[in-house]
Amino acid sequence: MVLYALIAGVLIGLFYGFAALGLSLAFGVLRVVNIAHGDVIVLGSYLAYELSTQAHINPLFAIPIAVPLAVAIGMVFYRFVAPSLGRSKDPEMLSLILFFGVSQVIEALATIGFSVNQDTLLTGPVGNASVQIFGQSFPNYYPVAAAVAVPGALLVMFYLYRSRLGLATRALMSSRADAMLSGIDVGRTSALSFGIALALAASAGALSIYVNGGVSPSQGTDLTTTAFAVVVIGGLGNPAGALAGGLVFGLAEQFAQSYEPNWAGMVPYVLLLAVMLVKPEGLLSRRVRYA
């Protein structure tokens, strides 16, 4: 039982970290509190659902379709709302209110388009066969979710630490004013970062439909709550911390389900409160965010 909980916790924890990466990136670069993050994940799940049921295409192909689409939408949307955020005395609070409204709109549109019922896929991304890992049997979407999450997270890290745009992004994380003085195109970099954040959320949706047993319009709130818990545990605005927070969250959840299933839904959030009391800045302190 310990081995199963440990492996399952790591596999699902990697998915949780990947699902929270976009939220962490948006806050770290833009100080945007994206309450609609979970709803974007839901849209990614519905894209995977439609590809599977209508076009009979593997739902994982939703990821390469969603990425450029989400980046484009995110960049245009950010260009539209950035002036208002820039004029605000409290952009974080304004963004919270703004994206709360966006969340409600997305949920309403999803309800109109897909009804309030939960939609599920009958087969996993690679069929219904289970997977054996160290003698333990897991649903095939466990390792698939981890196999997508790990390279996805590595690509984000490569972008942040090995590309010119990533260097500009990290400069914004450190100091927006200094980035402007150094000649960085703050508007373009910010818009691209927000687009990437949405693309990460939409990509996670192609996996979320399996991990959460289906998709429904009202699922966004729970997904946002989980993502916020993960990034707070790991460290707000720190993409690497999102992965660490995801692993901690996943392990806590799986061990609770194995030994105290009645408390499984509460244990990760009790852990969140403990981390906030002992280390409010998260497991990985904000000092790692500086370029």
Across 253-258, average pLDDT: 89
Measure the CA–CA gap between 19 and 46, rounded to whole angstroms: 16
Side-chain-facing half-sphere of 93: CA atoms under 13 Å: 4
Domain ranges across the chain:
17-220
Measure the CA–CA gap between 242 and 25, rounded to whole angstroms: 9
220 close to 36: Cβ distance less than 8 angstroms? yes
Measure the CA–CA gap between 30 and 187, rounded to whole angstroms: 10
Matching residue, tokens 């390279």: 151
Q: Closest by alpha carbon to 173, among 27, 22, 74?
A: 27
As separate numbers, helices (DSSP H) first and strands (DSSP E) second, the chain gives: 11, 2
Does residue 288 register a pLDDT over 50? Answer: no
DSSP string, 122-135: SSBBTBS-EEEETT
Q: 30-34 — which CB contacts under 8 Å span 24+ positions? A: 30/78, 30/85, 30/95, 30/172, 30/190, 30/193, 30/194, 31/91, 31/92, 31/95, 32/85, 32/91, 32/92, 32/95, 32/99, 32/194, 33/92, 33/93, 33/95, 33/96, 33/99, 34/95, 34/99, 34/197
Residue with the bigger pLDDT between 286 and 216: it is: 216
How confident is the model at residue 71, as a pLDDT?
A: 95
Measure the CA–CA gap between 125 and 61, rounded to whole angstroms: 10
Terminal Cα distance for the chain, rounded: 42
Express each pLDDT in 96-137 by its tens digit: 899 999 999 999 999 999 989 999 887 767 666 788 888 888
How confident is the model at residue 278, as a pLDDT?
A: 84
- Coil/strand/helix, residue 215: strand
For the whole model, what pTM was predicted? Answer: 0.92
Express each pLDDT in 272-285 by its tens digit: 888 888 887 777 75
